[in-house]
Protein backbone atom coordinates (compact mmCIF):
# COMPACT_ATOMS: atom_id res chain seq x y z
CA UNK A 1 0.00 0.00 0.00
CA UNK A 2 1.13 3.55 -0.50
CA UNK A 3 1.02 4.03 3.24
CA UNK A 4 3.96 1.64 3.35
CA UNK A 5 5.69 3.47 0.51
CA UNK A 6 5.32 6.90 2.01
CA UNK A 7 6.12 6.03 5.58
CA UNK A 8 5.12 8.86 7.91
CA UNK A 9 2.39 11.02 6.49
CA UNK A 10 3.40 14.47 5.35
CA UNK A 11 0.97 17.29 4.58
CA UNK A 12 0.64 18.17 0.91
CA UNK A 13 1.74 21.79 0.73
CA UNK A 14 3.35 24.07 -1.81
CA UNK A 15 6.47 24.40 0.29
CA UNK A 16 9.57 23.07 -1.40
CA UNK A 17 7.82 22.11 -4.61
CA UNK A 18 9.44 22.61 -7.95
CA UNK A 19 8.07 25.26 -10.23
CA UNK A 20 5.23 24.19 -12.47
CA UNK A 21 6.15 23.49 -16.10
CA UNK A 22 5.32 26.09 -18.75
CA UNK A 23 1.71 25.82 -19.92
CA UNK A 24 -0.01 26.98 -23.06
CA UNK A 25 -3.39 26.87 -24.70
CA UNK A 26 -3.81 24.47 -27.60
CA UNK A 27 -6.71 24.25 -30.01
CA UNK A 28 -6.35 20.49 -30.09
CA UNK A 29 -6.21 18.80 -26.69
CA UNK A 30 -4.20 15.58 -26.82
CA UNK A 31 -4.91 13.59 -23.67
CA UNK A 32 -3.52 10.22 -22.69
CA UNK A 33 -5.65 8.04 -20.41
CA UNK A 34 -3.30 5.63 -18.73
CA UNK A 35 -2.73 3.41 -15.71
CA UNK A 36 -0.01 1.54 -13.91
CA UNK A 37 -2.18 -1.55 -13.53
CA UNK A 38 -4.63 -3.26 -15.87
CA UNK A 39 -8.25 -3.81 -14.94
CA UNK A 40 -8.89 -0.35 -13.50
CA UNK A 41 -11.52 0.58 -16.11
CA UNK A 42 -9.29 2.79 -18.22
CA UNK A 43 -10.73 1.83 -21.62
CA UNK A 44 -14.33 2.26 -20.50
CA UNK A 45 -13.46 5.67 -19.08
CA UNK A 46 -11.77 6.71 -22.34
CA UNK A 47 -14.69 5.56 -24.50
CA UNK A 48 -17.40 7.08 -22.31
CA UNK A 49 -15.49 10.35 -21.97
CA UNK A 50 -15.16 10.50 -25.76
CA UNK A 51 -18.92 9.99 -26.10
CA UNK A 52 -19.74 12.68 -23.53
CA UNK A 53 -17.35 15.19 -25.10
CA UNK A 54 -18.88 14.51 -28.52
CA UNK A 55 -22.28 15.25 -26.96
CA UNK A 56 -20.87 18.65 -26.02
CA UNK A 57 -20.35 19.40 -29.74
CA UNK A 58 -16.64 18.57 -29.67
CA UNK A 59 -14.88 16.75 -32.50
CA UNK A 60 -13.32 13.65 -30.95
CA UNK A 61 -10.66 11.21 -32.09
CA UNK A 62 -10.31 8.15 -29.84
CA UNK A 63 -7.02 6.37 -30.43
CA UNK A 64 -6.62 2.80 -29.19
CA UNK A 65 -2.95 2.77 -28.23
CA UNK A 66 -2.89 -0.68 -26.66
CA UNK A 67 -1.33 -1.66 -29.94
CA UNK A 68 -0.91 -5.40 -29.45
CA UNK A 69 -4.02 -6.04 -27.34
CA UNK A 70 -6.67 -3.70 -28.72
CA UNK A 71 -10.13 -3.70 -27.16
CA UNK A 72 -11.96 -0.43 -27.81
CA UNK A 73 -13.61 -1.93 -30.89
CA UNK A 74 -14.61 -4.98 -28.83
CA UNK A 75 -16.35 -3.05 -26.03
CA UNK A 76 -18.23 -1.07 -28.70
CA UNK A 77 -19.21 -4.07 -30.80
CA UNK A 78 -17.38 -2.72 -33.86
CA UNK A 79 -15.63 -4.80 -36.52
CA UNK A 80 -13.10 -2.53 -38.25
CA UNK A 81 -11.67 -3.73 -41.54
CA UNK A 82 -8.39 -1.88 -41.03
CA UNK A 83 -6.50 -0.63 -38.00
CA UNK A 84 -3.31 1.08 -36.85
CA UNK A 85 -1.24 -1.92 -37.96
CA UNK A 86 -2.25 -1.38 -41.61
CA UNK A 87 -1.43 2.34 -41.32
CA UNK A 88 2.04 1.75 -39.91
CA UNK A 89 2.73 -0.94 -42.51
CA UNK A 90 1.97 1.66 -45.18
CA UNK A 91 -0.95 -0.37 -46.53
CA UNK A 92 -3.68 2.13 -45.61
CA UNK A 93 -3.89 5.80 -44.78
CA UNK A 94 -5.09 7.04 -41.43
CA UNK A 95 -8.31 8.26 -42.99
CA UNK A 96 -9.00 4.79 -44.35
CA UNK A 97 -8.47 3.20 -40.95
CA UNK A 98 -10.53 5.63 -38.85
CA UNK A 99 -14.07 4.41 -38.23
CA UNK A 100 -17.24 6.03 -36.89
CA UNK A 101 -18.25 5.26 -33.33
CA UNK A 102 -21.33 6.03 -31.22
CA UNK A 103 -22.30 9.65 -30.82
CA UNK A 104 -20.22 10.73 -33.81
CA UNK A 105 -16.81 9.99 -32.30
CA UNK A 106 -14.01 8.95 -34.63
CA UNK A 107 -12.00 5.89 -33.62
CA UNK A 108 -8.58 4.71 -34.72
CA UNK A 109 -8.59 1.03 -33.75
CA UNK A 110 -5.44 -0.92 -32.98
CA UNK A 111 -4.45 -4.50 -33.72
CA UNK A 112 -4.79 -7.47 -31.42
CA UNK A 113 -2.41 -10.40 -31.18
CA UNK A 114 0.35 -8.92 -33.36
CA UNK A 115 3.52 -9.07 -31.29
CA UNK A 116 5.53 -6.63 -33.41
CA UNK A 117 3.04 -3.91 -32.48
CA UNK A 118 3.85 -4.26 -28.79
CA UNK A 119 6.95 -2.09 -29.25
CA UNK A 120 6.75 0.52 -32.01
CA UNK A 121 9.93 1.50 -33.80
CA UNK A 122 10.99 5.11 -34.19
CA UNK A 123 10.06 4.90 -37.87
CA UNK A 124 6.54 3.76 -36.95
CA UNK A 125 6.16 6.52 -34.35
CA UNK A 126 7.18 9.18 -36.86
CA UNK A 127 4.86 7.68 -39.47
CA UNK A 128 1.92 7.91 -37.06
CA UNK A 129 2.69 11.53 -36.27
CA UNK A 130 2.96 12.35 -39.99
CA UNK A 131 -0.36 10.63 -40.70
CA UNK A 132 -2.12 12.56 -37.94
CA UNK A 133 -0.80 15.82 -39.35
CA UNK A 134 -2.40 15.01 -42.72
CA UNK A 135 -5.92 15.09 -41.28
CA UNK A 136 -7.79 17.97 -42.90
CA UNK A 137 -10.28 18.30 -40.04
CA UNK A 138 -8.46 18.17 -36.74
CA UNK A 139 -10.30 17.02 -33.62
CA UNK A 140 -10.91 19.25 -30.64
CA UNK A 141 -9.88 16.36 -28.40
CA UNK A 142 -7.66 13.37 -29.14
CA UNK A 143 -8.06 10.79 -26.39
CA UNK A 144 -5.32 8.15 -26.30
CA UNK A 145 -6.22 4.94 -24.50
CA UNK A 146 -2.77 3.59 -23.61
CA UNK A 147 -1.85 0.14 -22.41
CA UNK A 148 -1.17 -0.40 -18.71
CA UNK A 149 2.24 -0.48 -17.07
CA UNK A 150 5.56 1.10 -18.01
CA UNK A 151 6.34 -0.48 -21.37
CA UNK A 152 8.03 1.52 -24.13
CA UNK A 153 4.74 2.00 -25.97
CA UNK A 154 3.01 3.27 -22.83
CA UNK A 155 5.82 5.76 -22.27
CA UNK A 156 5.67 6.98 -25.87
CA UNK A 157 1.93 7.59 -25.98
CA UNK A 158 2.04 9.42 -22.66
CA UNK A 159 4.87 11.61 -23.90
CA UNK A 160 3.09 12.73 -27.08
CA UNK A 161 0.08 13.80 -25.00
CA UNK A 162 -0.14 17.31 -23.57
CA UNK A 163 -2.18 16.06 -20.63
CA UNK A 164 -1.94 12.74 -18.81
CA UNK A 165 -4.86 11.27 -16.88
CA UNK A 166 -3.80 8.46 -14.56
CA UNK A 167 -6.70 6.13 -13.70
CA UNK A 168 -6.49 4.43 -10.33
CA UNK A 169 -8.79 2.40 -8.08
CA UNK A 170 -8.75 2.02 -4.27
CA UNK A 171 -7.05 -1.37 -4.64
CA UNK A 172 -3.58 -1.26 -3.01
CA UNK A 173 -1.75 -2.67 -6.05
CA UNK A 174 -3.42 -0.06 -8.26
CA UNK A 175 -2.14 2.75 -6.02
CA UNK A 176 1.38 1.36 -5.95
CA UNK A 177 1.50 0.85 -9.73
CA UNK A 178 0.04 4.31 -10.42
CA UNK A 179 2.80 5.87 -8.32
CA UNK A 180 5.42 3.77 -10.17
CA UNK A 181 4.07 4.95 -13.55
CA UNK A 182 4.17 8.62 -12.49
CA UNK A 183 7.67 8.16 -11.10
CA UNK A 184 9.04 6.68 -14.35
CA UNK A 185 7.37 9.29 -16.55
CA UNK A 186 8.66 12.10 -14.33
CA UNK A 187 12.19 10.92 -13.64
CA UNK A 188 13.07 9.33 -16.98
CA UNK A 189 10.94 11.30 -19.42
CA UNK A 190 10.55 14.73 -17.74
CA UNK A 191 6.75 14.52 -17.66
CA UNK A 192 5.55 17.00 -15.04
CA UNK A 193 1.77 17.32 -15.29
CA UNK A 194 -0.49 14.53 -14.10
CA UNK A 195 -4.20 14.43 -13.38
CA UNK A 196 -5.54 11.64 -11.17
CA UNK A 197 -8.95 10.07 -11.80
CA UNK A 198 -10.10 7.68 -9.09
CA UNK A 199 -12.39 4.95 -10.46
CA UNK A 200 -14.78 2.44 -8.87
CA UNK A 201 -15.19 4.23 -5.54
CA UNK A 202 -18.14 3.84 -3.22
CA UNK A 203 -17.99 7.31 -1.66
CA UNK A 204 -16.45 10.70 -2.33
CA UNK A 205 -14.41 10.41 0.86
CA UNK A 206 -12.88 7.15 -0.38
CA UNK A 207 -11.80 8.91 -3.59
CA UNK A 208 -10.32 11.78 -1.58
CA UNK A 209 -8.32 9.37 0.56
CA UNK A 210 -6.89 7.63 -2.53
CA UNK A 211 -5.84 10.96 -4.03
CA UNK A 212 -4.25 12.18 -0.80
CA UNK A 213 -2.19 9.02 -0.45
CA UNK A 214 -0.76 9.25 -3.96
CA UNK A 215 -0.33 13.02 -3.75
CA UNK A 216 1.60 12.65 -0.50
CA UNK A 217 3.89 10.08 -2.10
CA UNK A 218 4.61 12.19 -5.20
CA UNK A 219 5.09 15.29 -3.09
CA UNK A 220 7.38 13.64 -0.55
CA UNK A 221 9.54 11.49 -2.83
CA UNK A 222 9.37 13.32 -6.18
CA UNK A 223 8.68 16.90 -5.10
CA UNK A 224 5.87 16.79 -7.65
CA UNK A 225 2.32 18.12 -7.40
CA UNK A 226 -0.51 16.24 -9.12
CA UNK A 227 -4.06 17.36 -9.88
CA UNK A 228 -7.23 15.73 -8.58
CA UNK A 229 -9.33 15.55 -11.75
CA UNK A 230 -12.25 13.73 -10.18
CA UNK A 231 -13.68 10.34 -9.32
CA UNK A 232 -16.13 7.81 -10.73
CA UNK A 233 -18.54 5.83 -8.60
CA UNK A 234 -18.70 2.05 -8.88
CA UNK A 235 -21.70 1.32 -11.08
CA UNK A 236 -23.32 -2.09 -11.37
CA UNK A 237 -24.74 -1.13 -14.76
CA UNK A 238 -21.26 -1.05 -16.29
CA UNK A 239 -20.82 -4.82 -16.52
CA UNK A 240 -24.19 -5.12 -18.24
CA UNK A 241 -23.21 -2.43 -20.74
CA UNK A 242 -19.92 -4.20 -21.49
CA UNK A 243 -21.76 -7.48 -22.11
CA UNK A 244 -24.09 -5.68 -24.52
CA UNK A 245 -21.05 -4.00 -26.19
CA UNK A 246 -22.60 -0.61 -25.58
CA UNK A 247 -21.38 2.46 -23.74
CA UNK A 248 -22.75 3.08 -20.27
CA UNK A 249 -23.30 6.70 -21.33
CA UNK A 250 -25.63 5.47 -24.07
CA UNK A 251 -27.64 3.00 -22.00
CA UNK A 252 -27.72 4.83 -18.66
CA UNK A 253 -26.91 8.51 -19.20
CA UNK A 254 -28.08 9.41 -15.68
CA UNK A 255 -26.23 6.65 -13.85
CA UNK A 256 -23.93 7.64 -10.96
CA UNK A 257 -20.75 6.82 -12.91
CA UNK A 258 -21.77 8.86 -15.95
CA UNK A 259 -22.74 11.84 -13.81
CA UNK A 260 -19.20 11.76 -12.43
CA UNK A 261 -17.66 11.46 -15.90
CA UNK A 262 -19.79 14.33 -17.15
CA UNK A 263 -18.19 16.54 -14.49
CA UNK A 264 -14.76 15.40 -15.71
CA UNK A 265 -15.73 16.22 -19.30
CA UNK A 266 -16.82 19.68 -18.22
CA UNK A 267 -13.45 20.23 -16.53
CA UNK A 268 -11.60 19.19 -19.67
CA UNK A 269 -13.60 21.73 -21.68
CA UNK A 270 -12.86 24.65 -19.36
CA UNK A 271 -11.53 27.65 -21.24
CA UNK A 272 -7.81 28.07 -20.87
CA UNK A 273 -7.23 24.71 -19.16
CA UNK A 274 -3.51 24.31 -18.68
CA UNK A 275 -1.59 21.74 -20.71
CA UNK A 276 2.03 20.74 -20.62
CA UNK A 277 4.49 21.94 -23.23
CA UNK A 278 7.86 20.48 -22.30
CA UNK A 279 9.52 20.48 -25.70
CA UNK A 280 8.73 16.89 -26.56
CA UNK A 281 7.34 15.84 -29.92
CA UNK A 282 3.54 15.82 -29.68
CA UNK A 283 0.66 14.97 -31.95
CA UNK A 284 -0.71 17.86 -34.03
CA UNK A 285 2.28 20.15 -33.61
Give first-to-last CA distance, the chain, whole Å.
Answer: 39
DSSP code per residue over 81-124: S--HHHHHTTSS-HHHH-EE-GGG-EEE---BS-GGGGS--HHH
Tell me if the pTM is above 0.75. Answer: yes
CA proximity to 144, closest of 44, 67, 32, 53: 32
**pLDDT at residue number 279:** 56
Percent of the chain with pLDDT over 90: 74
**Residue 9 above 90 pLDDT?**
no
Task: Give per-residue pLDDT as tens, 176-220.
Answer: 999 999 999 999 999 999 999 999 999 999 999 999 999 999 999
- Give the dihedral of Cα atoms 100, 50, 43, 184; nearest 10 deg: 120
**Residue 226 above 60 pLDDT?**
yes
Mean pLDDT of the chain: 88
**Residue 116 above 70 pLDDT?**
yes
| Strands 141-148 vs 29-35: parallel, antiparallel or unpaired | parallel
Task: Give per-residue pLDDT as tens, 124-151.
Answer: 999 999 999 888 889 999 999 999 999 9
Q: Which domains does the chain have, with CATH numbers?
A: 23-165 (3.40.50.300)
Is residue 142 within 8 Å of residue 31, measured between CB atoms?
A: yes
Residue 130 in 3-state DSSP? helix
**pLDDT at residue number 6:** 44
Q: Measuring CA to CA, how many Å separate 149 from each of 136, 166, 168, 179, 213?
A: 33, 11, 12, 11, 20
| Alpha-carbon dihedral sign for residues 236, 248, 140, 130 | positive
Task: Give per-residue pLDDT as tens, 63-111.
Answer: 999 887 778 998 999 999 999 999 999 999 999 999 999 999 999 999 8
Percent of the chain with pLDDT over 70: 86
Band of pLDDT at residue 272, cut at 50, 70 and 90: low
Amino acid sequence: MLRQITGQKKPVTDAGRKEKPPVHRHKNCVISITSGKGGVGKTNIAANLAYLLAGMKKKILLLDADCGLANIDLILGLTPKYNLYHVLKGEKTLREAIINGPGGIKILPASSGIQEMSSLSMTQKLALQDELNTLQIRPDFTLIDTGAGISENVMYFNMVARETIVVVTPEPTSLTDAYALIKVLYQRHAKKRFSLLVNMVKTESEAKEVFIRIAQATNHFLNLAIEHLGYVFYDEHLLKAVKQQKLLAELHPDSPAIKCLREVANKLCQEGREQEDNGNITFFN
